[in-house]
């Protein structure tokens, strides 16, 4: 019997050679906000390792959305590198997507060109940052930036873009009542909190013009008290289906306050403290991190119950992500009506994961959910702790 994982399937304009997608997982390989040889080499290796599509992690649509200095920024200077990256992946027979986003209140002043902003200017303990309230003119300008970044993705040869509307990034900050206290047409009612998302998606769909697939990564639940839950998620999924997007990536969590909800598994606080460059902040994380960050135990396919509620309500392709370690769980998820599966940690642990599953050499990933790779994000290149000796 053929495993469904290895069968081709359509995602909007695209036919993927199988149902596996490397999820957007920050590589830390874009010094000066530009594509490096390491970034190309990593995505080429994942493509050679058998995935249907790989996703380049968070690329900011504008300077004001930068939070790390080794993070991509979609500007003209980045285009030649992006072209080299898409060519390298295509040569290995895989498709390539790029995650486009803005981080709002998580932006770092020294990189973003000014004080960070958010839907509402309230203190963010977890930054710590004190963003100012974003103006309507700035909102309009960022909507346009999403369109510009999508056009650049087309020009660079990407097959898809993934709009980051989850994890407490800027779009998610508008959706969530925890971070959106606006009194204008972008705040208050659920309809109003969805306005920025709808405007971004319309701009992106127009810019894409059927030349690439458009997917959206969204939250099933923010994982924080008072945040969006599954009822809002169902309405957001229906809204996005109506707007014509080609697929939804179903995730959850708010990285600025509930990061473990996204990931699950060990809380790597000492490693995180070690890699934070600002010593005072590192010490703060070491002393208070375990009181501020709620632990979330790992279990396979940890979003399944909520994701099934979305599956019941929409028809568009759904992409499952979160804790897919074994072939048995992957097949179960696909048999329940999900069209594609995304992997972050299994492919950080081993870019050959998909081919090894296909050849029957392994039945599950060797990732132990130590989350070292996450903790290291602050200053280092993405690497699995089990391969540190290769550095
Ligand atoms: C090192 C690392 C970096 C990540 N960076 C991003 C990111 O830039 N954007 C995003 O949407 N998710 C990010 N994630 C979350 C993953 O895309 C994925 O949703 C999560 O790891 C669960 O999938 P997994 O169990 O296959 O790892 C990151 C995860 C890891 C491990
Ligand atoms: S460091 Fe390696 S083992 Fe730990 S979570 Fe990341 S990929 Fe898995």
Query: Which tokens go with 298?
Result: 């790992």
Name the phi and psi angles at 224, rounded to 5.
-130, 145
Residue 388 reports pLDDT greater than 80: no
Tell me the pLDDT of the chain averaged across its residues. Answer: 93
383 CA to centre of ligand 2 in angstroms:
8
74 CA to centre of ligand 2 in angstroms:
28
Q: Tokens 């279990």 correspond to what residue?
A: 299
Cβ count near 83 (within 10 Å): 15
Query: Which tokens go with 325?
Result: 């370690």
Is 374 within a domain?
no
Is 163 within a domain?
yes
Nearest-angstrom CA–CA distance, 115 and 107:
8
Is 245 within a domain?
yes
Range in 95-104, 115-124, 231-240 the model is least confident about: 115-124
At residue 377, the pLDDT reads 79
Is 219 within a domain?
yes
Is 379 within a domain?
no
At residue 160, the pLDDT reads 98
User: DSSP states of 44-111 as a string?
Assistant: HHHHHTT-SEEEEEEEESSGGG---TTSEE-SGGGHHHHHHHHHHHHHTT-EEEEEEE--GGG--HHH
Range in 9-23, 219-233, 375-389 the model is least confident about: 375-389
Nearest-angstrom CA–CA distance, 189 and 191:
5
Contact 60, 72 (CB under 8 A): yes
Is 378 within a domain?
no
- pLDDT mean over 114-131: 84
Q: Is 217 in the pocket of ligand 1 (CB under 6 A)?
A: yes
Is 41 within a domain?
yes
Q: Tokens 């709002």 correspond to what residue?
A: 104
- Looking at all shown ligands, the one closest to residue 167's CA atom is 1
Task: Name the active-site residue from 169, 261, 372, 378.
Answer: 169
Name the phi and psi angles at 171, rounded to 5.
-65, -45
Q: Is 267 in the pocket of ligand 2 (CB under 6 A)?
A: no
How are beta strands 117-118 and 20-22 bridged, if at all? unpaired
- pLDDT mean over 44-67: 98
At residue 268, the pLDDT reads 77
Active site residue 169: yes
- Provide the CATH number for the domain around residue 318: 3.20.20.70
- Looking at all shown ligands, the one closest to residue 262's CA atom is 1
pLDDT in tens, 229-287: 999 999 999 999 999 999 999 999 999 888 899 999 987 777 777 766 677 777 776 66
Residue 1 reports pLDDT greater than 60: no
**Secondary structure class of 175 (helix, strand, coil):** helix
| Domain boundaries, position 127 | 4-261+297-359
pLDDT in tens, 314-373: 999 999 999 999 999 999 999 999 999 999 999 999 999 999 999 999 999 999 999 989
pLDDT in tens, 291-321: 677 788 999 999 999 999 999 999 999 999 9
Residue 37 confidence class, pLDDT cut points 50, 70, 90: very high
Is 366 within a domain?
no
The count of structural domains within the chain is 1
**pTM for this entry:** 0.96
At residue 141, the pLDDT reads 98
Q: Residue 140: how many CA atoms within 13 Å on its side-chain side?
A: 4
Q: Is 163 in the pocket of ligand 1 (CB under 6 A)?
A: no
Q: Is 25 in the pocket of ligand 1 (CB under 6 A)?
A: yes
Q: Which residues pair with 215 in a beta bridge?
A: 162, 247
Give the C-alpha distances (Å, rounded to integers) separating 196 from 122, 233, 258, 320.
Answer: 19, 16, 23, 25
């Amino acid at each position: 019997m053929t495993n469904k994982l290895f069968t081709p399937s359509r995602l909007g304009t695209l036919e993927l050679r199988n149902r596996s997608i490397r999820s957007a997982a920050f590589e830390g390989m874009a010094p000066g906000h530009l594509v490096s040889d390491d970034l190309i080499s990593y995505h080429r290796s994942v493509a050679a390792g058998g995935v249907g599509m790989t996703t380049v992690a968070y690329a900011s649509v504008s300077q004001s959305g930068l939070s790390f200095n080794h993070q991509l920024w979609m500007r003209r200077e980045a285009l030649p590198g992006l072209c080299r990256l898409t060519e390298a992946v295509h040569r290995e027979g895989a498709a390539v997507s790029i995650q486009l986003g803005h981080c709002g209140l998580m932006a770092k002043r020294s990189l973003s060109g000014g004080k960070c902003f958010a839907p509402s200017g309230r203190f963010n303990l977890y930054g710590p940052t004190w963003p100012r309230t974003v103006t309507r003119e700035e909102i309009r300008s960022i909507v346009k930036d999403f369109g510009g970044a999508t056009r650049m993705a087309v020009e660079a040869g990407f097959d898809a873009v993934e709009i980051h509307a989850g994890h407490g990034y800027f779009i998610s900050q508008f959706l969530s009542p925890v971070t959106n206290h606006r009194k204008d047409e972008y705040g208050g009612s659920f309809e109003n909190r969805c306005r920025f998302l709808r405007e971004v998606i319309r701009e992106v769909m127009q810019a894409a013009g059927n030349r690439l697939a458009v997917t959206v990564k969204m939250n099933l639940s923010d994982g924080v008290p008072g945040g969006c839950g599954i009822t809002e998620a169902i309405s957001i999924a229906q809204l996005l289906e109506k707007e014509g997007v080609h697929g939804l990536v179903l995730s959850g969590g708010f990285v600025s306050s509930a990061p473990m909800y996204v990931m699950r598994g060990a809380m790597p606080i000492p490693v995180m403290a070690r890699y934070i460059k600002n010593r005072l902040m590192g010490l703060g994380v070491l002393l208070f991190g375990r009181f501020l960050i709620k632990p979330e135990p790992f279990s396979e396919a940890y979003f399944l119950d909520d994701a099934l509620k979305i599956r019941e309500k929409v028809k568009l392709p759904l992409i499952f992500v979160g804790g897919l370690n074994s072939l048995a769980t992957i097949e179960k998820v696909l048999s329940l009506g999900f069209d594609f599966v995304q992997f972050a940690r299994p492919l950080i642990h081993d870019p050959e994961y998909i081919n090894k599953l296909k050849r029957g050499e392994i039945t599950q990933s060797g990732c132990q959910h130590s989350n070292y790779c996450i903790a290291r994000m602050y200053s280092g290149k993405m690497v699995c702790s089990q391969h540190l000796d290769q550095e």
